[in-house]
Amino acid sequence: MKSNLIIQFLLSLNLLFFSFHFHGQEFQYSDPEDEGFSKERLERITPVIQKYIDEDLTPGVLTAIMRNEKIIYLETQGYMDVKEKKPLKEDTIFRIASMTKPIASVALMILWEEGNFQLNDPVSKFIPAFSETKVSTTSDVSGKTGDLVEPKRAITIRDMLTHTAGLANNYIGNKDAYRKAMYQPRPKSNSEQINRLAKLALNYHPGEQWQYSAATSVVGHLVEVISGKSLDVFLTERLFDPLDMPDTHFYLDNTKDGRLAAQYKPGKDKKIVLQDPGSEKSRFITAPRNIFSGSGGLVSTARDYLRFQQMILNEGQLNGVRILAPSTVSLMLENHTGNLPIWLTGPGTGFGLGYGVIVDRGESGSPLSKGSAYWGGAYCTISWIDREKNLVGLLMTQVRPYTHINIRRDFQVLTYQSIMD
């Protein structure tokens, strides 16, 4: 009885802290028991996450669970800057990397709803350089570009949204040519970078294989070409301002540099070492502001990203603001890749328009419900939407690479073992 009273007191404090730091239209905070969760089982999350921090495998972690549009769990542990002993906070700004992809994909689907294109339209209709793209006959890990042949069909916009375009990438094929084209020298605009990419040979014929790539960078540039606005301006006007996401940006000004978490990498012993500071020296503050990557350029807060995900879970609207029609959201969260293997996420998973999707729980071994949509980022962030459970999950931390830890899957398991209905 005494422990339950303590938990209720701590939850009330958490609610006050949450309301104080998160301005604007806010989510309600609800007692977990009222939303079908076991408080006792939720308590298992903290020690598991803390173990990763105590072993210096990650600097600090924010975890959040929403159900029925209410916060039922929100916790910060560890530091946003280890050396300075600066605690991680609810309003800490994180590099979200590939969690930019669902946002860029939603932006393009806004333009689809307005009648600007069809999903099976060729990308070359809007970016002519892709009309000349050829396919390499060497698609293995040899790292060489083989003889070039014409693609069996044109690359479509759907191919870009689903990573089935066959684009050159950093994982397979001529990786050196890819890196040089994309980054050396630094392109002056999205247009320059995408036109360089279009000149590289495809690793596969369009639609024949799933291969993670910079396809969503092309998606972001399609938004620019079709709308006539830079991606940062379009996202601000059509998503971030309407959804009240004031801390989601491609670059930060100096007024927010004190909130940017430092980013770490594993050292030789897997213990974290600083890679990018959370200060005015970070590239997210100092870099030239001319590249707005739909693949992975954004920074954001837990509050902002939860609002975006809740909009998707609400079938395209939040607090009376409609971004997409329910049918469009449903289409995005369908599996568009059939039985193609999704090597990055494994068996039992597919890919929609900007999101990975759970196709078979048994095959995937995932606790998420069938049809759930998810994606993560290179700094070990992840968020998912479970339509069956009416739930949004979110984990934010800043360590790259993160293959030495299973913290994201651990948090998902701990979330679902807490659900009692």
For the segment(s) 117-228, the CATH number from 1.20.950, 3.30.70, 1.10.3470, 1.20.58 is 1.20.58
How confident is the model at residue 143, as a pLDDT? 53
Nearest alpha-carbon partner for 379 in 178, 93, 168:
93
Cα 33 to Cα 45, 284, 299, 391: the distances in Å are 16, 40, 33, 15
How is the chain split into domains, by residue range?
24-103+233-416, 117-228
Q: What is the pLDDT of residue 139?
A: 56
Contacts of residues 19-26 at CB distance under 8 Å and 24 or more positions apart, as own/partner, are 21/89, 21/90, 21/91, 22/90, 22/91, 22/303, 23/246, 24/244, 24/246, 25/244, 25/319
415: Cα within 13 Å, side-chain hemisphere:
29
The per-residue pLDDT for range 31-42, each reduced to its tens digit, is 999 999 999 999
Close Cβ partners of 282 (under 8 Å, ≥ 6 residues apart): 252, 257, 260, 276
**From CA 68, how far away is CA 73, in angstroms rounded?**
12
Q: What is the pLDDT of residue 19?
A: 45
CATH, domain 24-103+233-416, list 3.40.50.300, 2.60.40.420, 3.30.70.20, 3.40.710.10: 3.40.710.10
Cα-based distances in Å from 216 to 21, 31, 173: 32, 38, 19
Distance CA 322, CA 49 (A): 36
Cα–Cα distances (Å) from 94 to 99, 111, 298, 377, 398, in that order, read: 11, 28, 9, 10, 7
Mean pLDDT, consecutive 10-residue segments, the chain of 421 residues?
A: 44 43 71 98 98 98 98 98 96 97 98 98 98 84 72 98 96 88 91 96 96 97 98 98 97 84 96 91 80 95 98 98 98 98 96 98 98 98 98 98 97 98 96
3 state SS of 208: coil
Whether the Cβ atoms of residue 63 and residue 82 lie closer than 8 Å to each other: no
SS3 75: strand
User: Residue 323 to residues 20, 160, 296, 396: CA-CA distances in angstroms?
Assistant: 27, 21, 21, 25
What angle do helix axes 175-183 and 190-198 make, rounded to 10 degrees? Answer: 160
Which stretches of 198-283 are assigned E, i.e. beta strand? 263-266, 272-276
pLDDT value of residue 280: 78
Counted residue by residue, the chain has a size of: 421
- The confidence score (pLDDT) of residue 285 equals 82
159 closest CA partner among 345, 373, 340: 340
The phi and psi torsions of 398 (rounded to 5 degrees) equal: -140, 75
What local confidence, expressed as pLDDT, does residue 286 receive?
Answer: 78
Q: In sequence order, what are the residues at sequence separation of 6 or more whose Cβ sits closer than 8 angstroms to the Cβ of residue 40?
A: none
- The predicted-structure confidence for 197-207, as pLDDT tens digits, reads as follows 999 999 999 99
CB 281 within 8 A of CB 72: no
